Amino acid sequence: MELQPFFFRREGSIVGLRVHPTDSSAADEVNQFALRPLKSEEFAVFTLDLCHNQIDRHFSRFPDEELETINRLVVGRPLMERHDLRGSLPRGTFFRSRLHRDDDRTSVRPDVYVLRTPDNASFILNIEGGVYRETSIGFAFQTPECSVCGRDLRTCDHVPGRTYGDVLCHSIMRNVLEVIEGSVVASGSQGTGFVAGGRSSSFPDALESARSLYHRPIELHTSRTWARE
Ligand SMILES: [Zn+2]
C-alpha cells in the first residue's frame, strides 16, 4: 500500500524585524520578485525562525538535510495571516533564507517582505507591536521515520514520546516535498497541527488514523464464479 504524504503545520517565531532594511542587498533581492523596482520605504522586512532540528513538543524533528531542503524551497513562497477572515491572500513573500546555527540547534531563517499598503498596515503594526509573534510553516513530507527502529512510524508500533531503552521515540520527518506557506499567528495560539483531508488534528491523532488506515484489512472484491457440476 502506498502511504500518502503528511501535510503538517509547525510553529516557529519571529526573531526580528527591520523597519528599513539596513543592507542594500535586501532591496535588490526583493526586487527580483517585484514587477517594478520598489523603494526600501515601500516594504517592511521580517526575519522568521521557521523550523529547527530539535525534537519539539509533538515529538517530531527535522534532520539537518531536510532543513536545507526547506531553506531552498521557502524562497518565493507566500506569508499568510492565519485566521484571516477576509480570505487567503498572501501578506508577504519570502525572498531569501539562510540556515542559522546556534550550538547544536540549526534553524531555517527566511526573510519576508510585506508591502506597506494601507491594507497591510494593521498586520505590520501587529508584528511590530509583538502581538503577532508566532509563526507556522505548512509543508508536505513523505516519511515520518521512527527514531527507534528506522521504519515508517505508520508501520511500526513504537509510540512517540515513549522511551525505549535510552531512545526517546520521535518522528524524524524525511523527504520534504513542498513548502506550502508560512503563516503569522497571534501569540499563544496553536500554530501546529496536521492537516488531513481538510481537517486539522494533533500529531498523535494523525498518526493513529494513518496507522489504522495502514493496518486496515484489504478487502478483495472478486467476481463470483459458479462451479459447474
Ligand atoms: Zn518504530
Question: From ligand 1's centre to the CA of 10, what distance in Å?
Answer: 22
Question: From ligand 1's centre to the CA of 131, what distance in Å?
Answer: 40
Side chain identity at residue 150, one-letter code: G
Structure confidence at residue 167 (pLDDT): 94
Task: Write out the chain in H/E/C secondary structure.
Answer: CCCCCEEEEEEEEEEEEECCCCCHHHHHHHCCCCCCCCCHHHEEEEEEECEECCCCCCCEECCHHHHHHHHHHCCCCEEEECCCCCCCCCCEEEEEEEEEEECCEEEEEEEEEEECCHHHHHHHHHHHCCCEEEEEEEEEEEEEEECCCCCECCCCCCCCCCEECCEECCEEEEEEEEEEEEEEEECCCCCCEEEECCEEECHHHHHHHHHHHHHCCCCCCCCCCCCCC
Structure confidence at residue 23 (pLDDT): 64
Tell me the pTM: 0.78
* pLDDT for residue 68 is more than 70: yes
* pLDDT for residue 224 is more than 50: no
Question: From ligand 1's centre to the CA of 140, what distance in Å?
Answer: 21
* pLDDT for residue 203 is more than 70: no
Question: Of residues 22 and 149, which shows the higher confidence score?
Answer: 149
- For 135-188, the pLDDT digits (tens) are 888 888 888 999 999 999 989 999 999 999 999 999 999 999 988 888 887 655
- For 81-120, the pLDDT digits (tens) are 875 545 668 899 999 999 999 899 999 999 999 999 999 9
Question: From ligand 1's centre to the CA of 212, what distance in Å?
Answer: 15
Question: From ligand 1's centre to the CA of 101, what distance in Å?
Answer: 29
Question: From ligand 1's centre to the CA of 110, what distance in Å?
Answer: 33
Read off the pLDDT band of 208 (50, 70, 90). Answer: confident
